[in-house]
Amino acid sequence: MEFQGKKQTILCLSFVTLFSLLGLCSPNIVVEEVHVGVILDMGSREGKIILSCISTALSDFYHLHNNYSTRVILHTRDSIGKPLHALSAALNLLDKIKVEAIIGAQTRMEANLLAELGEEAKVPVLSLSGLRTSPFGAPGKYPFFVEITQDETSQVTAISGLIEMFKWRDVILLYENTDYGRDIIPFFINSFEEANVTIVYKSCIAASSADEQIIEELRNLTKLKTTVFVVHVSHFLVPRLLLNAKKLGLLSEGYAWIMTSTSMNFLHYSMDPSVIESTQGVLGLKSYTPASTRLHNLTSRLRRIFYMQDPNIEVSAVTPDGIWAYDATWALAEAVERTWTSTGLNLVNLNNITSSKHGLLLLQEILQTRFKGLSGEEIQYPNGKLVSSAFEIVNVIGKGERRVGLWPCEENHKRNLLSTNDLETIIWPGGSSTLPNGSKKQLSTSSEIKLRVGVPVRIGFNELVHMNHDIQTNRTSFTGFCIDVFEAAISKLPYKVNYDFVPFAIGINASYNDLVHQLVLQTFDAVVGDTTITSERSQHVGFTTPYTDLGVGMLVSNEKEDMWFFLKPLSADLWITSAGFFILTGFVVWVIERPVNPEFQGTPSQQIGSILWGEVVNVLGRASAN
């Protein structure tokens, strides 16, 4: 037994010595840790899926590139779904952890806050949400902000192209009262205008609205002639919206509902079968991700992960945000490796959160990264945005969705779907395959109804609104910019609308508030004029999109400059008055000094010269003393 023990000890020491020698012979690989912050709503299902995709992406990346000298280390923070919590978490990551990049920003508000912070700290922010945008906005305000998801505005052309293809001339735009809901409206307006499509009504619904409020707003839509709805709301609001719309008959035969990818991407992740039943016949866009072996493997792994964590969470498919987060993490890890090996320096060695010397290098590598993503398609982020490949056009049928077509997101792609033959058969609400004509049958009595339109009359800017009264014919007419806009809008309607302008005197006894209140009293059906949109008035009546800008301007004549230009600021009277005081002061000095001062004596011309020169010396002497 003693010999056997010694034998085992000698054998063990031999193995230790052997491995030690092998270790001395092997190259000494130093792995540098790169810290990256992740800010997500960890309490939400979507946040958990995104975090799992990010972690899995790093695991897959370093399993494939185990010889790399860098390792991305994640530091997760919970935003609790609140923008200020996300901002606080980002400050903590930058100040305490000294992170090199941040992944997160699931909402528009979080994206705007983190974009400002990332720009200040010179740290790349890989965002799952876009910034507030405008069709006329100048890009590049936040170069350190990288949008890793599909740009929401890229789908506007696809939707307007579908509506143009179906030959619908009028639509109702239904959107959510949030930043991302409102920001896309100008893009829709511009795109529909190019397609000669009219938005007859814009319905804004808050996510916090009670069912009674949603029903009241939808009931107003039943009174309209148009039966085509374009919907841009979050997947949290979709279930209640569609259930109440179905109750009011807005999802019956003859109606058409087209949803943006914001509504469709998560349609079946948050709804029970009763709600899915109310979506039958809905047409919408979804972010297109071709099936691939890598995507299938990721889905299977996530299913096992979530089943082990919580058997009640079922992952039928990876969400688009999860796929984009996976690809973005892969791009970040590759960019970190290239930057680290090329500089050999710490990317972000912040003494405070307001400066970074090397964040720009990492950003440039991210923007230049190109690789095959989960779907097998090339992933790249030029100009700080993900290059979108395509949208798939889906039709809700039964318990699922059926793809009926694809819309490429090419820069020069403009409504390439020329006919309905480019799409598969679509089942519309009510179970009909017949294309809705987009409008209800017009009542024969509608042309006999006249609208009473109130017009403010006051002394002021006649260019906006002006009343002309002909004494001989006893007829009153109205002119001005506001009247022209109203008449141009009425002329765009596909049916005839009769109206009468009714003057409303604005003065001591009546104000614009009184004019607006006439709509509440139903004295007027509409008001046309230079009426300012205020918070108090908006609580009682609805306003159109503003067609003028507030501000104060100054009209200045464009004259040629000459050598006497310096005289322009003062009027002639003021120059004459100044010269008079100049001479008067010199004369007083001459009267006082002449009896005792020889310099003020002599011929009259000499005395006049002394007066003027003495005044000049006096003025210049004061200036030099000051």
pLDDT tens digits, one per residue of 193-203: 888 898 999 99
Asked whether the predicted pLDDT for residue 25 surpasses 70, the reply is no
Local confidence band at 602 (pLDDT 50, 70, 90 cut-offs)? confident
Element (H, E) at 152: none
Candidate from 87-91, 292-296, 407-411, 439-443 with smallest mean pLDDT: 439-443
How sure is the predictor about 117, in pLDDT bands with cuts at 50, 70 and 90? very high
pLDDT at residue 228 greater than cutoff 70:
yes
Q: Does pLDDT of 12 surpass 90?
A: no
Mean pLDDT for the chain? 81
Q: What tokens appear for 463 in the block?
A: 């260019």
Q: Which residues contact 423 (CB under 8 A, 6 or more apart)?
A: 393, 404, 405, 417
Place of tokens 């031999």: 14
Q: Are 289 and 463 in contact (CB under 8 A)?
A: no
What confidence score (pLDDT) does residue 171 get? Answer: 93
DSSP summary character for residue 176: E
pLDDT digits (tens, 9 = 90+) for 333-372: 999 999 888 775 544 444 444 455 568 899 999 999 998 8
Residue 429 carries which side chain, given as an amino acid letter? P
pLDDT score for 229: 94
Q: Which CATH architecture best describes the domain 446-538?
A: 3-Layer(aba) Sandwich (3.40)
| Residue, of 560 and 225, whose pLDDT is higher | 225
Pair 166, 435: CB distance under 8 Å: yes
DSSP-derived 3-state class of residue 325: helix
Q: What is the pLDDT at residue 375?
A: 79
pLDDT class of 271 with cuts at 50, 70, 90:
low
Q: How far is CA 355 from the centre of its chain?
A: 27
C-alpha to C-alpha distances, 250 to 172, 218, 268, 273, nearest whole angstrom: 12, 8, 21, 19
Question: Which pLDDT value is given to residue 319?
Answer: 86
Q: Which of 16-20, 247-251, 532-536 is most confident?
A: 247-251
The amino acid that residue 420 corresponds to is: T
> What does the block give as tokens for 28?
């000494």
DSSP H helices in 492-544: 512-520, 535-538
Q: Which three-class secondary structure state does DSSP give residue 572?
A: helix
Q: Give yes or no for residue 179 having a pLDDT over 90.
A: no
User: Is CATH 3.30.70.20 correct for 33-151+294-384?
Assistant: no
DSSP SS3 for 167: coil
Three-state DSSP state, 537: helix
User: Which pLDDT score is estimated for 551?
Assistant: 64
- The pairing of strands 378-379 and 371-372 is antiparallel
- The predicted structure's pLDDT at residue 420: 56
- Per-residue pLDDT at 584 exceeds 90: no
d(CA 195, CA 198): 9
Per-residue pLDDT, averaged over 218-223, amounts to 89
Higher pLDDT, 282 or 442: 282
Mean pLDDT of 147-174: 89
Sequence-distant (6+) residues with CB within 8 A of 334 are: 61, 365, 369, 371
Q: Find, among 553, 599, 2, the residue nearest to 10 by Cα.
A: 2
Is the pLDDT at 566 greater than 80? The verdict is no
Residue 349 to residue 333: CA distance in whole angstroms: 18
Average the pLDDT over 61-75 and give the result: 93
Q: What is the pLDDT of residue 134?
A: 59
pLDDT at 581 over 90: no
Superfamily covering domain 152-290+389-422: Response regulator (3.40.50.2300)
CA distance linking residue 517 with residue 538, whole number of Å: 11
pLDDT of residue 350: 41
Residue 39 has a pLDDT of: 96
The answer to whether 282 and 250 are in contact (CB under 8 A) is no
Tokens of 18: 């052997």
Residue 2: per-residue pLDDT: 46
Q: Find the mean pLDDT for residues 424-445.
A: 80
User: Alpha-carbon distance 244 to 298, whole Å?
Assistant: 37
Q: Does 38 score more than 50 pLDDT?
A: yes
Q: Which pLDDT value is given to residue 269?
A: 62
Indicate if the pLDDT at residue 90 is higher than 90. Answer: yes
Band of pLDDT at residue 469, cut at 50, 70 and 90? confident
What is the pLDDT confidence band of residue 41, given thresholds at 50, 70 and 90?
A: very high
CB distance 448 to 499 below 8 Å: no
pLDDT score of 9 more than 50: no
At residue 239, φ and ψ (nearest 5 deg) are -55, -50
Q: Indicate if the pLDDT at residue 270 is higher than 60.
A: no
Determine the straight-line distance between the first and last CA of the chain, rounded to whole angstroms: 110
Instruction: Check residue 479 and report its DSSP letter.
Output: E
The pLDDT of residue 494 is above 70: no
Show the CA angle centred on residue 474, arms to residues 468 and 480, nearest 5°. 15
Give the pLDDT of residue 592.
79
State whether residue 466 is helix, strand or coil.
Answer: strand
- For the record, the structure tokens of 32 come out as 């540098």
Closest to 265 in 3D by CA, of 313, 319, 302: 319
